[in-house]
Amino acid sequence: MVYQPIGPYLIERCLATGGMAEVFVAVRTGPHGFRKRVAFKRILPRYARDPDFVSMFVGEARLAARLEHTNIVHVFDFGELEGQLFLTMELVEGTNVSRMVRSVSSRAEAVPLEVALSICAETAHALAYAHELAQDNGEPLQVVHRDVSPANILLTSTGHVKLTDFGIAKCALREGVTEEGHVRGKLGYMSPEQVMGKELAGASDVFTLSTVLAEMLIAEPLFGGGVELDALIKIRNVDLTRLYASERHLPKDVLRLVEKGLARDPVDRLSARAFARGCEEIIRRRGLEHGPAQVVRLGRRLQLFETHNEDPACESGSGVNSFADTTGITVRSEKMADDFRIDTPLTYRIRFKDGEEVGPLSYSRLIQEILAGRVAQSTLVSRSEHPFSPASEVPELGRIVNSKALLFGLDDLSHADRSGSLGRAALLQAVHRITHQYETGVLHLWHGVRRKKIYFVEGRPDFVASTEKSELLGEFLAHTGWCLRMEVDMALAMMPRYGGRLGDALVGLGILRPVQLYRAVAAQVRERYLDAFRWRQGRYAFVSGIRAEEETFPLGYSVHELLRDAVQYADIDELKAALQGFRMQVIHRSVQPPTSIEAYRLPESWERLVTAVRGDATLEAFVERETRARDMELDQMYRALFLGLCCELIDVA
């Protein structure tokens, strides 16, 4: 393909293209025969007028102007030519870690220890430099790369390491560019806090670099490689099963270094500089040959440093800089068009035991009937006018009707350990007991035809099922604005092709990205859980030892914070009714509460109120006194006191 010159840049060939930008190999010409080969990056024409993309591109340029480190790809120029913004960067002739890992894996090998440690040490030095960078006034820039993936760790043909693509980095220069709700970073190379949408610091980059180190040493994805949502849950839980189960033996000192970099809590992780020193210390202590020469030797053996002159479809991953998708957005219109080539939508009929027939029903309507408990495994179902057969034998229904977690029979209740009424906020006390005693089991809630089940594992909410239509995933996504109603309906129509999984359909059709789906499901499950504490009528029963036996979606929140939020959700009249029994009793701080007050992360006003309890007044007198002494809504005062009593932060005499 022949390209037209762009200003002083002669375009040789396309190097990579992605969701936001395209990169070319170009030659910068100048006076007296000056010529320099560079990587020329510009926003794709279809996004050149999008203010979000332009802002991100400009932010990348502003940050790049400050990054001058031997292990970071250098940016030479930035400007506008022919109405298009561009960046020119150092052209890295070589390969990247992604290609190296794929190559050794295809040979049933792994990256040699000395090479993996050397690459990660240099990358960590680059990150340490970026993390410690300051503004002209001395204020920290707080740079976080946020995309330390194998494709962005480049290896020159001389064996040196170059970290690239700060296009989605967050720093003080670009506050607001990557605003709340916009998911950045590659699937499989995120930190737990990144997956959960929390504020990021340099520790996030250390986590992803540690992921890269682990993958080089075991030659397989640490978290990815399966269902996209499962990969995100593995990251959130820091599930290191693949690392420990790998047939490739990792020395104990190397394993300890990886584990420190993969600590779930960012506070417990090594800094980037400490991680670099850790890699270098292992190399020194073991007397390993390391450095560029070892990288070159491996690259040549794997034939990774060949020059690629072809330009078949402008794909990423060639033998030079790989700057593909800086936004994580992929255009999927063709795939969506293919997926929606449907001849006739499936319809279903239901025949109940008494002979009554219902239908025709759409697939999504039938699923609602199943989840509401009206269709069991043996209920007869006809698929698109075919003969009736048990629901468990209809392929696209089997996963749901055979799942105990998604069905709502009350057979378990004959084995209930305890039960009671849901009045007077009794559920909060029941859940506190489950949490405090680290119990595993299922908590059934019911009122008339309304049903909900909360599964706990060692006191932590693990899975929530509900018969409420408004709490189904599709309804939740449409109601909360994650998707348009039309998009949900399209995905519902396609669910049979995705094994009855709405989430997989939404991702498969390009409606949601995997991380968006993860966060949406997390919000939905949390809402299902907290909604239970709004119930004013009904009964509950806890059956110990029962697990969901389903692909569970743990809430991922502190159980104590969830109890705090549950008190916020509870009906205030029910809380007041529960407190009536303590009205004339003296209240005092617990000497040895089961959990410290700090674990609940209470609102400041709540914590001040609870800590003001001194054992010198009845509950009623204390409320009267504190109402006069502080500017706090009475209802909030009751909520804080109920939490204190329920969670044994406060005792009564």
Catalytic positions, written as ranges: 147
DSSP strand pairing (9-17 vs 21-30): antiparallel
Closest CA to 366 of 492, 468, 548: 492
Per the structure block, which two tokens stand in for 223?
A: 């978290």
203 contacts: CB under 8 Å, gap ≥ 6: 191, 266, 267, 269, 271
CB atoms within 10 A of CB 618: 16
| 460-466 sheet: strands from edge to edge | 418-421, 539-544, 441-447, 450-457, 460-466
Secondary structure letter of residue 244 according to DSSP: H
Separation CA 467–CA 446 (nearest Å): 10
Give residue 598's identity as a one-letter amino acid code: E
From residue 35, alpha-carbon distances to 29, 31, 618 in Å are 5, 9, 86
Does 496 sit behind a cis peptide bond, omega within 30 degrees of 0 on the bond before it? no
395 contacts: CB under 8 Å, gap ≥ 6: none
**CB-CB contact of 402 with 392 (8 Å):** yes
Separation CA 206–CA 478 (nearest Å): 36
C-alpha 346: how far from chain center: 33
3-state SS of 480-495? HCCCCHHHHHHHHHHH
C-alpha 272: how far from chain center: 22
DSSP strand pairing (450-457 vs 380-383): unpaired
From residue 211, alpha-carbon distances to 217, 235, 515 in Å are 10, 10, 18
CB atoms within 10 A of CB 450: 15
**CB-CB contact of 350 with 361 (8 Å):** yes
Q: What are phi and psi of 80, to 5 degrees?
A: -135, 125
Coil, strand or helix at 623: helix
Closest CA to 615 of 648, 590, 585, 587: 587
Separation CA 58–CA 72 (nearest Å): 18
Q: Where are the beta strands (DSSP E) in 91-177?
A: 94-96, 153-156, 161-163
With tokens 């998708």, the residue in question is: 325
